[in-house]
Amino acid sequence: MAKELPFERPLMELRKKIEELKQFTEIEGIDFSKEIIELESKAKILEQEIYTQLTPWNRTQIARHAKRPTTLEYIENIFTDFIEMHGDRLYSDDHAIVGGIAKFNGVPVTVIGHQKGRDTKENIYRNFGMPHPEGYRKALRLMQQAEKFNRPIICFIDTPGAYPGIGAEERGQSEAIARNLRDMALFKVPMICIVTGEGGSGGALALGVGNHLFMLENSIFSVISPEGAATILWRDAAMAVTAANTMKITANDLLDFGIIDGIIPEPFGGAHTDVLQQAADIKNVIANSLQELTKLSPEQRIEQRYQKYRTIGVYTSLI
Amino acid sequence: MLKDFFYKKRKYATIPSEKAKKNIPDGMVVKCEKCGTITFVKELQKNLNVCLHCSHHHSLSAPERLLSILDDGHFFEYDSDLASSNPLGFEGYLDKLKKDMDKTNLNEAVVVGEGTIGGFPAIVGVMDSRFRMGSMGSVVGEKIAAGIERALVKKYPFILFSASGGARMQEGILSLMQMAKTSAALAKLHQEGILFISVLTNPTTGGVSASFASLGDINIAEPGALIGFAGPRVIEQVIRQKLPEGFQTSEFLLNRGQIDMIVDRKEMKSTLEKLLELHMVRGNYNG
Ligand SMILES: [Zn+2]
Protein backbone atom coordinates (compact mmCIF):
# COMPACT_ATOMS: atom_id res chain seq x y z
CA MET A 1 0.00 0.00 0.00
CA ALA A 2 1.15 3.51 -0.70
CA LYS A 3 2.72 5.45 2.13
CA GLU A 4 -0.02 7.20 4.07
CA LEU A 5 -0.05 10.91 4.79
CA PRO A 6 -0.80 12.12 8.34
CA PHE A 7 -4.26 13.44 7.51
CA GLU A 8 -5.20 10.11 5.91
CA ARG A 9 -4.34 8.04 8.96
CA PRO A 10 -7.89 7.61 10.38
CA LEU A 11 -9.10 6.38 7.00
CA MET A 12 -6.15 4.05 6.51
CA GLU A 13 -6.70 2.59 10.00
CA LEU A 14 -10.35 2.00 9.29
CA ARG A 15 -9.53 0.27 6.02
CA LYS A 16 -7.03 -1.91 7.81
CA LYS A 17 -9.67 -2.91 10.33
CA ILE A 18 -12.07 -3.85 7.53
CA GLU A 19 -9.34 -5.91 5.91
CA GLU A 20 -8.69 -7.70 9.20
CA LEU A 21 -12.38 -8.50 9.69
CA LYS A 22 -12.58 -9.87 6.17
CA GLN A 23 -9.61 -12.13 6.79
CA PHE A 24 -11.03 -13.19 10.12
CA THR A 25 -14.28 -14.12 8.44
CA GLU A 26 -12.45 -16.21 5.90
CA ILE A 27 -10.15 -18.00 8.31
CA GLU A 28 -12.42 -18.53 11.32
CA GLY A 29 -15.67 -18.89 9.44
CA ILE A 30 -17.43 -16.34 11.67
CA ASP A 31 -19.80 -14.02 9.86
CA PHE A 32 -18.81 -10.38 10.26
CA SER A 33 -20.50 -9.21 7.07
CA LYS A 34 -22.86 -6.87 8.93
CA GLU A 35 -19.99 -5.21 10.78
CA ILE A 36 -17.98 -5.00 7.60
CA ILE A 37 -20.79 -3.30 5.72
CA GLU A 38 -21.16 -0.84 8.58
CA LEU A 39 -17.46 -0.04 8.67
CA GLU A 40 -17.29 0.27 4.90
CA SER A 41 -20.04 2.84 4.85
CA LYS A 42 -18.24 4.64 7.65
CA ALA A 43 -15.04 4.55 5.60
CA LYS A 44 -16.86 6.02 2.62
CA ILE A 45 -18.12 8.92 4.68
CA LEU A 46 -14.69 9.47 6.18
CA GLU A 47 -13.09 9.33 2.72
CA GLN A 48 -15.58 11.90 1.49
CA GLU A 49 -14.84 14.07 4.50
CA ILE A 50 -11.08 13.92 4.21
CA TYR A 51 -10.66 14.31 0.46
CA THR A 52 -13.23 17.00 -0.09
CA GLN A 53 -11.79 19.21 2.62
CA LEU A 54 -8.11 19.06 1.79
CA THR A 55 -6.14 22.08 2.94
CA PRO A 56 -3.50 23.55 0.63
CA TRP A 57 -0.89 21.94 2.86
CA ASN A 58 -2.59 18.53 2.46
CA ARG A 59 -2.48 19.02 -1.30
CA THR A 60 1.17 19.98 -1.07
CA GLN A 61 1.80 16.69 0.68
CA ILE A 62 -0.08 14.78 -2.02
CA ALA A 63 1.76 16.69 -4.76
CA ARG A 64 5.06 15.63 -3.18
CA HIS A 65 3.97 12.07 -2.43
CA ALA A 66 6.76 9.56 -2.96
CA LYS A 67 4.40 7.57 -5.20
CA ARG A 68 3.22 10.55 -7.21
CA PRO A 69 3.27 9.51 -10.89
CA THR A 70 6.23 11.02 -12.73
CA THR A 71 6.47 12.45 -16.22
CA LEU A 72 7.86 9.19 -17.64
CA GLU A 73 4.91 7.27 -16.18
CA TYR A 74 2.46 9.66 -17.78
CA ILE A 75 4.33 9.49 -21.06
CA GLU A 76 4.13 5.70 -20.98
CA ASN A 77 0.38 5.75 -20.35
CA ILE A 78 -0.70 8.64 -22.55
CA PHE A 79 1.54 8.42 -25.62
CA THR A 80 2.91 5.70 -27.85
CA ASP A 81 6.24 5.28 -29.64
CA PHE A 82 8.12 7.58 -27.25
CA ILE A 83 11.73 8.13 -28.23
CA GLU A 84 13.76 10.03 -25.66
CA MET A 85 16.24 12.67 -26.82
CA HIS A 86 19.21 13.75 -24.77
CA GLY A 87 21.42 16.71 -24.16
CA ASP A 88 21.57 20.45 -24.78
CA ARG A 89 24.39 20.19 -27.37
CA LEU A 90 26.35 22.62 -25.19
CA TYR A 91 27.31 21.06 -21.92
CA SER A 92 25.58 17.84 -20.86
CA ASP A 93 22.37 15.91 -20.46
CA ASP A 94 20.30 16.95 -17.48
CA HIS A 95 18.44 13.98 -16.01
CA ALA A 96 16.03 16.26 -14.13
CA ILE A 97 14.27 16.99 -17.42
CA VAL A 98 13.23 14.34 -19.93
CA GLY A 99 11.95 14.93 -23.42
CA GLY A 100 11.49 13.44 -26.82
CA ILE A 101 9.11 12.63 -29.62
CA ALA A 102 6.04 10.46 -29.25
CA LYS A 103 2.68 9.86 -30.83
CA PHE A 104 -0.48 11.21 -29.31
CA ASN A 105 -3.50 9.43 -30.76
CA GLY A 106 -1.35 8.64 -33.77
CA VAL A 107 -0.03 12.19 -34.26
CA PRO A 108 3.64 13.02 -33.63
CA VAL A 109 4.18 15.43 -30.75
CA THR A 110 7.09 16.63 -28.68
CA VAL A 111 6.75 15.88 -24.99
CA ILE A 112 8.95 17.34 -22.27
CA GLY A 113 8.79 17.27 -18.49
CA HIS A 114 10.58 17.49 -15.18
CA GLN A 115 11.51 14.05 -13.93
CA LYS A 116 11.66 13.06 -10.27
CA GLY A 117 12.86 9.70 -8.99
CA ARG A 118 10.88 7.04 -7.13
CA ASP A 119 13.51 6.18 -4.55
CA THR A 120 16.66 7.71 -3.12
CA LYS A 121 18.95 6.27 -5.77
CA GLU A 122 16.72 7.43 -8.61
CA ASN A 123 16.22 10.79 -6.99
CA ILE A 124 19.94 11.38 -6.80
CA TYR A 125 20.20 10.49 -10.49
CA ARG A 126 17.33 12.89 -11.26
CA ASN A 127 18.63 15.54 -8.84
CA PHE A 128 15.17 15.41 -7.20
CA GLY A 129 13.71 16.91 -10.36
CA MET A 130 15.69 20.13 -9.94
CA PRO A 131 17.17 21.13 -13.31
CA HIS A 132 20.42 22.87 -14.13
CA PRO A 133 20.66 25.34 -17.05
CA GLU A 134 21.42 22.47 -19.43
CA GLY A 135 18.03 20.97 -18.60
CA TYR A 136 16.22 24.10 -19.70
CA ARG A 137 18.44 24.37 -22.75
CA LYS A 138 17.67 20.78 -23.69
CA ALA A 139 13.98 21.55 -23.31
CA LEU A 140 14.27 24.62 -25.53
CA ARG A 141 16.24 22.68 -28.13
CA LEU A 142 13.50 20.08 -28.28
CA MET A 143 10.86 22.79 -28.57
CA GLN A 144 12.73 24.38 -31.46
CA GLN A 145 12.87 20.97 -33.05
CA ALA A 146 9.11 20.64 -32.58
CA GLU A 147 8.57 24.06 -34.15
CA LYS A 148 10.69 23.09 -37.15
CA PHE A 149 8.67 19.94 -37.79
CA ASN A 150 5.35 21.48 -36.81
CA ARG A 151 4.70 19.20 -33.86
CA PRO A 152 2.57 20.27 -30.88
CA ILE A 153 4.49 20.61 -27.62
CA ILE A 154 3.24 19.10 -24.38
CA CYS A 155 5.02 19.91 -21.11
CA PHE A 156 4.64 18.20 -17.75
CA ILE A 157 5.64 20.31 -14.77
CA ASP A 158 6.79 18.75 -11.51
CA THR A 159 9.79 20.29 -9.77
CA PRO A 160 10.65 21.76 -6.38
CA GLY A 161 12.50 24.42 -8.39
CA ALA A 162 15.58 25.07 -10.49
CA TYR A 163 18.69 23.85 -8.71
CA PRO A 164 20.49 26.47 -6.60
CA GLY A 165 24.15 25.53 -6.92
CA ILE A 166 27.55 26.76 -7.99
CA GLY A 167 27.58 25.09 -11.41
CA ALA A 168 24.03 26.22 -12.12
CA GLU A 169 24.97 29.84 -11.45
CA GLU A 170 28.21 29.59 -13.42
CA ARG A 171 26.39 28.28 -16.47
CA GLY A 172 23.64 30.87 -16.32
CA GLN A 173 20.58 29.45 -14.59
CA SER A 174 18.92 32.85 -14.89
CA GLU A 175 19.62 33.18 -18.58
CA ALA A 176 18.44 29.65 -19.34
CA ILE A 177 15.11 30.17 -17.61
CA ALA A 178 14.64 33.67 -19.03
CA ARG A 179 15.36 32.54 -22.56
CA ASN A 180 12.77 29.76 -22.30
CA LEU A 181 10.19 32.26 -21.08
CA ARG A 182 10.91 34.54 -24.03
CA ASP A 183 11.25 32.00 -26.79
CA MET A 184 8.26 29.90 -25.73
CA ALA A 185 6.17 32.98 -26.44
CA LEU A 186 7.12 32.84 -30.12
CA PHE A 187 6.42 29.26 -31.20
CA LYS A 188 3.65 28.77 -33.75
CA VAL A 189 2.77 25.22 -32.75
CA PRO A 190 0.14 24.41 -30.10
CA MET A 191 1.66 24.29 -26.62
CA ILE A 192 -0.04 22.61 -23.70
CA CYS A 193 1.40 22.67 -20.19
CA ILE A 194 0.21 20.56 -17.28
CA VAL A 195 1.32 20.92 -13.68
CA THR A 196 1.25 17.35 -12.40
CA GLY A 197 2.92 17.75 -9.01
CA GLU A 198 5.01 20.59 -7.65
CA GLY A 199 5.14 23.79 -9.69
CA GLY A 200 8.15 25.29 -7.97
CA SER A 201 8.86 28.86 -8.98
CA GLY A 202 10.80 29.96 -12.07
CA GLY A 203 12.18 26.47 -12.50
CA ALA A 204 8.62 25.27 -13.15
CA LEU A 205 7.52 28.27 -15.18
CA ALA A 206 10.41 27.70 -17.59
CA LEU A 207 8.33 24.80 -18.97
CA GLY A 208 5.05 26.57 -18.31
CA VAL A 209 4.43 29.08 -21.09
CA GLY A 210 1.71 27.51 -23.21
CA ASN A 211 -1.54 28.21 -25.02
CA HIS A 212 -3.30 26.24 -22.35
CA LEU A 213 -2.11 25.66 -18.81
CA PHE A 214 -3.74 22.98 -16.66
CA MET A 215 -3.20 21.73 -13.14
CA LEU A 216 -4.00 18.41 -11.56
CA GLU A 217 -6.43 18.83 -8.69
CA ASN A 218 -3.80 18.26 -5.99
CA SER A 219 -0.86 19.89 -7.67
CA ILE A 220 0.55 23.22 -6.51
CA PHE A 221 2.12 26.17 -8.32
CA SER A 222 3.95 28.75 -6.26
CA VAL A 223 6.42 31.60 -6.42
CA ILE A 224 8.50 29.87 -3.75
CA SER A 225 8.19 26.63 -1.78
CA PRO A 226 6.11 26.89 1.40
CA GLU A 227 9.32 26.23 3.35
CA GLY A 228 11.14 29.03 1.52
CA ALA A 229 8.27 31.42 2.04
CA ALA A 230 8.19 30.58 5.73
CA THR A 231 11.89 31.35 6.05
CA ILE A 232 11.64 34.65 4.20
CA LEU A 233 8.35 35.92 5.54
CA TRP A 234 8.41 34.60 9.09
CA ARG A 235 12.07 33.67 9.46
CA ASP A 236 10.92 30.24 10.58
CA ALA A 237 10.88 27.17 8.31
CA ALA A 238 8.39 25.54 10.66
CA MET A 239 5.79 28.02 9.39
CA ALA A 240 5.64 26.10 6.09
CA VAL A 241 2.12 24.87 6.79
CA THR A 242 0.92 28.42 7.40
CA ALA A 243 2.73 29.58 4.29
CA ALA A 244 1.11 26.89 2.15
CA ASN A 245 -2.30 27.75 3.52
CA THR A 246 -1.97 31.50 2.91
CA MET A 247 -0.04 31.78 -0.35
CA LYS A 248 -2.81 30.64 -2.73
CA ILE A 249 -0.94 27.84 -4.44
CA THR A 250 -3.71 25.37 -5.30
CA ALA A 251 -5.34 24.68 -8.65
CA ASN A 252 -8.50 26.39 -7.42
CA ASP A 253 -6.58 29.52 -6.49
CA LEU A 254 -4.89 29.70 -9.88
CA LEU A 255 -8.19 29.17 -11.64
CA ASP A 256 -9.65 32.04 -9.63
CA PHE A 257 -6.75 34.28 -10.65
CA GLY A 258 -7.38 33.38 -14.29
CA ILE A 259 -3.91 31.87 -14.62
CA ILE A 260 -4.87 28.31 -15.52
CA ASP A 261 -7.42 27.10 -18.05
CA GLY A 262 -8.72 24.13 -16.15
CA ILE A 263 -8.33 21.67 -13.30
CA ILE A 264 -7.87 17.98 -14.02
CA PRO A 265 -9.60 15.98 -11.26
CA GLU A 266 -7.72 13.31 -9.34
CA PRO A 267 -9.09 10.12 -7.81
CA PHE A 268 -9.71 10.25 -4.03
CA GLY A 269 -6.35 10.07 -2.33
CA GLY A 270 -4.41 11.47 -5.28
CA ALA A 271 -3.12 10.54 -8.71
CA HIS A 272 -0.94 7.72 -7.35
CA THR A 273 -3.98 5.71 -6.25
CA ASP A 274 -5.00 5.14 -9.87
CA VAL A 275 -2.31 6.07 -12.36
CA LEU A 276 -4.14 4.59 -15.35
CA GLN A 277 -7.32 6.52 -14.64
CA GLN A 278 -5.30 9.69 -14.09
CA ALA A 279 -3.41 9.21 -17.33
CA ALA A 280 -6.67 8.64 -19.19
CA ASP A 281 -8.15 11.85 -17.76
CA ILE A 282 -5.06 13.83 -18.71
CA LYS A 283 -5.16 12.31 -22.19
CA ASN A 284 -8.74 13.51 -22.62
CA VAL A 285 -7.80 17.04 -21.61
CA ILE A 286 -4.87 17.09 -24.04
CA ALA A 287 -7.06 15.77 -26.85
CA ASN A 288 -9.69 18.48 -26.33
CA SER A 289 -7.09 21.18 -25.93
CA LEU A 290 -5.26 20.12 -29.09
CA GLN A 291 -8.48 20.06 -31.04
CA GLU A 292 -9.26 23.60 -29.96
CA LEU A 293 -5.76 24.91 -30.66
CA THR A 294 -5.57 23.26 -34.06
CA LYS A 295 -8.48 25.44 -35.16
CA LEU A 296 -6.37 28.56 -34.63
CA SER A 297 -3.89 29.83 -37.19
CA PRO A 298 -0.21 29.88 -36.18
CA GLU A 299 -0.41 33.67 -35.72
CA GLN A 300 -3.55 33.33 -33.63
CA ARG A 301 -1.84 30.78 -31.43
CA ILE A 302 1.04 33.18 -30.76
CA GLU A 303 -1.33 36.04 -30.02
CA GLN A 304 -3.61 33.92 -27.82
CA ARG A 305 -0.60 32.75 -25.81
CA TYR A 306 0.71 36.30 -25.53
CA GLN A 307 -2.61 37.66 -24.26
CA LYS A 308 -2.95 34.78 -21.81
CA TYR A 309 0.16 35.89 -19.91
CA ARG A 310 -0.10 39.59 -20.72
CA THR A 311 -3.34 39.92 -18.82
CA ILE A 312 -2.22 38.20 -15.60
CA GLY A 313 -1.96 40.56 -12.66
CA VAL A 314 -4.03 42.31 -10.02
CA TYR A 315 -3.55 46.02 -9.29
CA THR A 316 -5.35 49.32 -8.93
CA SER A 317 -5.08 52.86 -10.24
CA LEU A 318 -4.60 55.81 -7.95
CA ILE A 319 -6.45 58.11 -10.32
CA MET B 1 28.66 63.87 16.21
CA LEU B 2 31.25 63.66 13.50
CA LYS B 3 33.54 61.98 15.98
CA ASP B 4 30.95 59.23 16.50
CA PHE B 5 31.14 58.36 12.86
CA PHE B 6 34.90 58.27 12.84
CA TYR B 7 35.17 56.05 15.84
CA LYS B 8 32.32 53.74 15.01
CA LYS B 9 33.61 50.27 14.32
CA ARG B 10 33.34 49.22 10.71
CA LYS B 11 30.79 46.66 11.61
CA TYR B 12 28.94 46.61 8.30
CA ALA B 13 31.85 47.47 6.11
CA THR B 14 31.96 44.18 4.23
CA ILE B 15 28.24 43.56 4.01
CA PRO B 16 26.89 45.08 0.82
CA SER B 17 23.30 44.59 1.87
CA GLU B 18 20.12 46.24 2.99
CA LYS B 19 21.53 46.27 6.50
CA ALA B 20 24.43 48.38 5.41
CA LYS B 21 22.20 50.89 3.71
CA LYS B 22 20.51 51.67 6.96
CA ASN B 23 23.89 52.78 8.14
CA ILE B 24 23.71 55.79 5.88
CA PRO B 25 21.84 58.51 7.73
CA ASP B 26 20.14 61.47 6.13
CA GLY B 27 22.63 63.69 7.86
CA MET B 28 25.53 65.64 6.52
CA VAL B 29 28.01 62.84 6.25
CA VAL B 30 27.85 59.23 5.24
CA LYS B 31 30.09 56.22 5.67
CA CYS B 32 30.97 54.02 2.69
CA GLU B 33 29.47 50.57 3.20
CA LYS B 34 32.54 49.01 1.59
CA CYS B 35 35.62 50.89 2.79
CA GLY B 36 34.19 52.85 5.67
CA THR B 37 35.41 56.22 4.44
CA ILE B 38 33.33 59.16 5.64
CA THR B 39 32.15 61.54 2.95
CA PHE B 40 29.81 64.49 2.84
CA VAL B 41 26.46 63.31 1.50
CA LYS B 42 26.42 66.07 -1.08
CA GLU B 43 29.87 65.11 -2.24
CA LEU B 44 28.85 61.46 -2.62
CA GLN B 45 25.66 62.42 -4.45
CA LYS B 46 27.60 64.64 -6.81
CA ASN B 47 29.69 61.59 -7.58
CA LEU B 48 26.53 59.56 -8.38
CA ASN B 49 26.77 57.72 -5.05
CA VAL B 50 30.08 56.18 -6.05
CA CYS B 51 32.60 56.23 -3.21
CA LEU B 52 35.37 58.72 -3.94
CA HIS B 53 37.81 56.53 -2.08
CA CYS B 54 37.14 52.94 -3.25
CA SER B 55 34.70 53.42 -6.18
CA HIS B 56 32.08 51.29 -4.48
CA HIS B 57 28.76 51.80 -6.23
CA HIS B 58 26.10 52.58 -3.63
CA SER B 59 22.44 52.29 -4.58
CA LEU B 60 20.84 54.99 -6.66
CA SER B 61 17.17 55.79 -6.30
CA ALA B 62 15.12 55.69 -9.50
CA PRO B 63 14.90 59.51 -9.74
CA GLU B 64 18.66 59.83 -9.15
CA ARG B 65 19.31 57.22 -11.81
CA LEU B 66 17.09 58.96 -14.35
CA LEU B 67 18.84 62.25 -13.65
CA SER B 68 22.17 60.58 -14.25
CA ILE B 69 21.41 59.22 -17.71
CA LEU B 70 18.66 61.30 -19.33
CA ASP B 71 19.42 64.52 -21.16
CA ASP B 72 18.70 67.35 -18.70
CA GLY B 73 16.78 64.80 -16.63
CA HIS B 74 13.73 65.28 -18.85
CA PHE B 75 11.41 62.34 -18.49
CA PHE B 76 7.81 61.57 -19.37
CA GLU B 77 6.56 58.90 -17.03
CA TYR B 78 4.04 56.22 -18.05
CA ASP B 79 1.52 54.46 -15.84
CA SER B 80 2.57 56.34 -12.72
CA ASP B 81 -0.93 55.84 -11.34
CA LEU B 82 -0.64 52.06 -11.04
CA ALA B 83 -0.45 50.78 -7.50
CA SER B 84 -0.44 47.37 -5.86
CA SER B 85 -3.46 45.87 -4.20
CA ASN B 86 -3.46 42.89 -1.88
CA PRO B 87 -4.70 39.97 -4.00
CA LEU B 88 -3.59 37.30 -1.51
CA GLY B 89 -5.02 39.18 1.45
CA PHE B 90 -1.58 39.15 2.97
CA GLU B 91 -1.43 40.50 6.49
CA GLY B 92 0.47 43.75 6.75
CA TYR B 93 1.21 44.03 3.02
CA LEU B 94 -0.79 47.20 2.41
CA ASP B 95 0.86 48.88 5.39
CA LYS B 96 4.28 47.99 4.06
CA LEU B 97 3.38 49.41 0.66
CA LYS B 98 2.14 52.60 2.26
CA LYS B 99 5.33 52.94 4.26
CA ASP B 100 7.49 52.51 1.18
CA MET B 101 5.37 54.97 -0.77
CA ASP B 102 5.90 57.57 1.93
CA LYS B 103 9.58 56.76 2.20
CA THR B 104 10.36 56.88 -1.53
CA ASN B 105 7.69 59.19 -2.89
CA LEU B 106 7.12 56.50 -5.55
CA ASN B 107 4.00 54.43 -6.14
CA GLU B 108 5.89 51.23 -6.91
CA ALA B 109 9.32 49.67 -7.32
CA VAL B 110 9.78 50.64 -10.96
CA VAL B 111 9.50 53.86 -12.92
CA VAL B 112 8.96 53.62 -16.68
CA GLY B 113 8.76 56.38 -19.24
CA GLU B 114 10.51 58.04 -22.13
CA GLY B 115 13.31 60.48 -22.50
CA THR B 116 16.38 61.09 -24.62
CA ILE B 117 19.94 59.97 -24.05
CA GLY B 118 22.46 61.93 -26.07
CA GLY B 119 19.54 63.10 -28.19
CA PHE B 120 18.37 59.55 -28.95
CA PRO B 121 14.85 58.79 -27.77
CA ALA B 122 14.37 55.67 -25.66
CA ILE B 123 11.87 54.02 -23.37
CA VAL B 124 13.60 53.75 -20.02
CA GLY B 125 12.65 51.76 -16.94
CA VAL B 126 14.41 52.03 -13.61
CA MET B 127 13.82 49.84 -10.58
CA ASP B 128 14.20 51.25 -7.10
CA SER B 129 15.49 48.86 -4.46
CA ARG B 130 14.19 51.08 -1.65
CA PHE B 131 10.64 50.06 -2.52
CA ARG B 132 10.00 46.53 -1.24
CA MET B 133 13.60 45.67 -2.17
CA GLY B 134 12.71 46.33 -5.79
CA SER B 135 10.66 43.17 -5.86
CA MET B 136 8.39 42.42 -8.82
CA GLY B 137 4.67 42.12 -8.22
CA SER B 138 1.78 42.73 -10.60
CA VAL B 139 2.45 46.47 -10.95
CA VAL B 140 6.15 46.13 -11.69
CA GLY B 141 5.39 43.44 -14.29
CA GLU B 142 2.60 45.49 -15.81
CA LYS B 143 4.62 48.70 -16.06
CA ILE B 144 7.56 46.91 -17.65
CA ALA B 145 5.39 44.98 -20.12
CA ALA B 146 3.49 48.17 -21.00
CA GLY B 147 6.78 50.02 -21.46
CA ILE B 148 8.02 47.33 -23.83
CA GLU B 149 4.78 47.59 -25.80
CA ARG B 150 5.28 51.36 -26.09
CA ALA B 151 8.77 50.69 -27.40
CA LEU B 152 7.19 48.34 -29.94
CA VAL B 153 4.76 50.97 -31.15
CA LYS B 154 7.24 53.84 -31.19
CA LYS B 155 10.11 51.67 -32.39
CA TYR B 156 12.30 53.16 -29.67
CA PRO B 157 15.02 51.20 -27.94
CA PHE B 158 14.12 49.87 -24.50
CA ILE B 159 16.55 50.28 -21.62
CA LEU B 160 15.92 48.80 -18.21
CA PHE B 161 17.95 49.25 -15.02
CA SER B 162 17.30 46.30 -12.71
CA ALA B 163 17.69 46.45 -8.95
CA SER B 164 15.59 43.75 -7.40
CA GLY B 165 15.58 40.86 -4.99
CA GLY B 166 13.22 39.00 -7.35
CA ALA B 167 9.54 38.15 -7.30
CA ARG B 168 7.41 39.73 -4.57
CA MET B 169 6.42 37.05 -2.07
CA GLN B 170 3.27 38.86 -0.91
CA GLU B 171 1.72 38.56 -4.36
CA GLY B 172 2.57 34.89 -4.70
CA ILE B 173 1.90 33.20 -8.02
CA LEU B 174 0.84 36.51 -9.62
CA SER B 175 4.40 37.75 -9.10
CA LEU B 176 5.85 34.62 -10.65
CA MET B 177 3.69 35.04 -13.73
CA GLN B 178 5.09 38.54 -14.31
CA MET B 179 8.28 36.78 -15.39
CA ALA B 180 6.40 35.18 -18.28
CA LYS B 181 4.51 38.40 -19.04
CA THR B 182 7.58 40.64 -19.29
CA SER B 183 9.58 38.01 -21.19
CA ALA B 184 6.76 37.52 -23.70
CA ALA B 185 6.68 41.27 -24.31
CA LEU B 186 10.43 41.15 -24.90
CA ALA B 187 9.87 38.30 -27.35
CA LYS B 188 7.83 40.67 -29.48
CA LEU B 189 10.49 43.35 -29.25
CA HIS B 190 13.10 40.77 -30.21
CA GLN B 191 11.05 39.70 -33.21
CA GLU B 192 10.64 43.29 -34.37
CA GLY B 193 14.38 43.86 -34.22
CA ILE B 194 14.20 46.56 -31.57
CA LEU B 195 17.14 47.06 -29.26
CA PHE B 196 16.87 46.10 -25.60
CA ILE B 197 19.68 47.05 -23.27
CA SER B 198 19.54 45.48 -19.82
CA VAL B 199 21.57 47.17 -17.10
CA LEU B 200 21.98 44.99 -14.03
CA THR B 201 22.68 46.84 -10.80
CA ASN B 202 22.99 45.71 -7.22
CA PRO B 203 21.14 43.47 -6.54
CA THR B 204 19.55 41.63 -9.47
CA THR B 205 18.46 38.18 -8.35
CA GLY B 206 15.65 35.62 -8.47
CA GLY B 207 12.69 36.15 -10.73
CA VAL B 208 14.00 39.41 -12.14
CA SER B 209 17.38 37.94 -12.98
CA ALA B 210 15.61 34.89 -14.46
CA SER B 211 13.41 36.97 -16.76
CA PHE B 212 13.83 40.36 -18.44
CA ALA B 213 17.12 41.32 -16.79
CA SER B 214 18.95 38.46 -18.54
CA LEU B 215 17.36 39.04 -21.94
CA GLY B 216 19.15 42.12 -23.19
CA ASP B 217 20.63 42.22 -26.66
CA ILE B 218 23.30 43.82 -24.58
CA ASN B 219 23.65 43.01 -20.89
CA ILE B 220 25.59 45.61 -18.90
CA ALA B 221 26.40 45.38 -15.21
CA GLU B 222 27.59 47.97 -12.74
CA PRO B 223 30.79 47.04 -10.89
CA GLY B 224 30.48 44.83 -7.84
CA ALA B 225 26.76 44.12 -8.17
CA LEU B 226 25.24 40.93 -6.78
CA ILE B 227 23.66 39.14 -9.74
CA GLY B 228 22.33 35.60 -9.74
CA PHE B 229 19.38 33.26 -9.79
CA ALA B 230 19.50 31.84 -6.28
CA GLY B 231 20.51 33.94 -3.32
CA PRO B 232 23.98 33.19 -1.89
CA ARG B 233 22.50 32.10 1.44
CA VAL B 234 20.18 29.61 -0.23
CA ILE B 235 23.04 28.11 -2.21
CA GLU B 236 25.22 27.83 0.89
CA GLN B 237 22.43 26.03 2.71
CA VAL B 238 21.96 23.57 -0.15
CA ILE B 239 25.60 22.78 -0.89
CA ARG B 240 26.63 23.07 2.78
CA GLN B 241 29.80 25.00 2.07
CA LYS B 242 30.89 28.59 1.86
CA LEU B 243 30.79 30.23 -1.53
CA PRO B 244 34.06 31.45 -3.01
CA GLU B 245 34.93 35.13 -2.70
CA GLY B 246 33.33 37.22 -5.40
CA PHE B 247 30.79 34.55 -6.39
CA GLN B 248 27.77 36.03 -8.24
CA THR B 249 29.34 39.45 -8.66
CA SER B 250 29.38 41.39 -11.93
CA GLU B 251 33.01 40.45 -12.37
CA PHE B 252 32.18 36.76 -11.87
CA LEU B 253 29.42 36.99 -14.45
CA LEU B 254 31.64 38.70 -16.99
CA ASN B 255 34.19 35.98 -16.48
CA ARG B 256 31.54 33.28 -16.97
CA GLY B 257 30.26 34.83 -20.17
CA GLN B 258 26.92 35.97 -18.81
CA ILE B 259 27.24 39.71 -19.47
CA ASP B 260 28.75 41.83 -22.22
CA MET B 261 30.51 44.40 -20.10
CA ILE B 262 30.90 46.08 -16.76
CA VAL B 263 30.42 49.82 -16.96
CA ASP B 264 31.29 52.31 -14.26
CA ARG B 265 28.37 54.51 -13.29
CA LYS B 266 30.17 57.63 -14.45
CA GLU B 267 30.60 56.10 -17.91
CA MET B 268 27.03 54.76 -18.12
CA LYS B 269 25.42 57.68 -19.95
CA SER B 270 28.19 57.98 -22.54
CA THR B 271 28.22 54.19 -23.05
CA LEU B 272 24.47 54.14 -23.61
CA GLU B 273 24.78 57.08 -26.02
CA LYS B 274 27.37 55.22 -28.04
CA LEU B 275 25.32 52.04 -28.14
CA LEU B 276 22.16 53.90 -29.14
CA GLU B 277 24.05 55.72 -31.85
CA LEU B 278 25.41 52.43 -33.21
CA HIS B 279 21.86 51.13 -33.48
CA MET B 280 20.37 54.22 -35.12
CA VAL B 281 21.56 53.24 -38.56
CA ARG B 282 20.57 49.70 -39.43
CA GLY B 283 23.09 47.47 -41.07
CA ASN B 284 21.91 46.63 -44.56
CA TYR B 285 23.88 43.65 -45.64
CA ASN B 286 21.39 41.22 -47.03
CA GLY B 287 23.87 40.20 -49.71
ZN1 LIG C 1 34.39 53.32 -0.29
Residue B3 in this model has a pLDDT that exceeds 90: no
Residue A229 in this model has a pLDDT that exceeds 70: yes
Q: Check: CB of residue A276 under 8 Å from CB of residue A78.
A: no
Classified as helix, coil or strand, A30 is coil
pLDDT for the residue numbered B51: 96
Of A177, A223, A306, the CB nearest to B173: A223
pLDDT for the residue numbered B7: 35
**DSSP conformation letters of A106-132:** TEEEEEEEE---SSHHHHHHTGGG---
Q: Check: CB of residue B211 under 8 Å from CB of residue A180.
A: no
Q: Is A240 on the interface with B (CB under 8 A)?
A: no
Q: What percent of chain A has pLDDT over 90?
A: 89
Of B174, B179, B238, the CB nearest to A165: B238
pLDDT for the residue numbered B27: 74
- pLDDT tens for each residue of B169-197: 999 999 999 999 999 999 999 999 999 99
- pLDDT tens for each residue of B207-254: 999 999 999 999 999 999 999 999 998 999 889 999 999 999 999 999
Name every residue whose Cβ is closer than 8 Å to that of residue B240 and which is 6 or more positions away in sequence. none
Residues of chain B with C-beta less than 8 angstroms from the C-beta of A239: none
pLDDT for the residue numbered B283: 60
Cis peptide preceding A69, ω within 30 of 0: no
Q: Which CATH number fits domain B59-279: 3.90.226.10, 3.30.70.20, 3.40.50.1980, 3.40.605.10?
A: 3.90.226.10
* b (16+ CB within 10 A) / e for A171-186: bbbbbbbbbbbbbbbb
**Which segments of chain B belong to CATH 3.90.226.10?**
59-279
Residues of chain B with C-beta less than 8 angstroms from the C-beta of A169: 228-230, 235, 247-248
Query: Using the beta-carbon criterion (under 8 Å), do A313 and B138 form an inter-chain contact?
Result: yes
Of B82, B85, B211, the CB nearest to A181: B211
Residue B19 in this model has a pLDDT that exceeds 90: no
Task: Give the residue, A3 or B13, on which the prediction is more confident.
Answer: A3
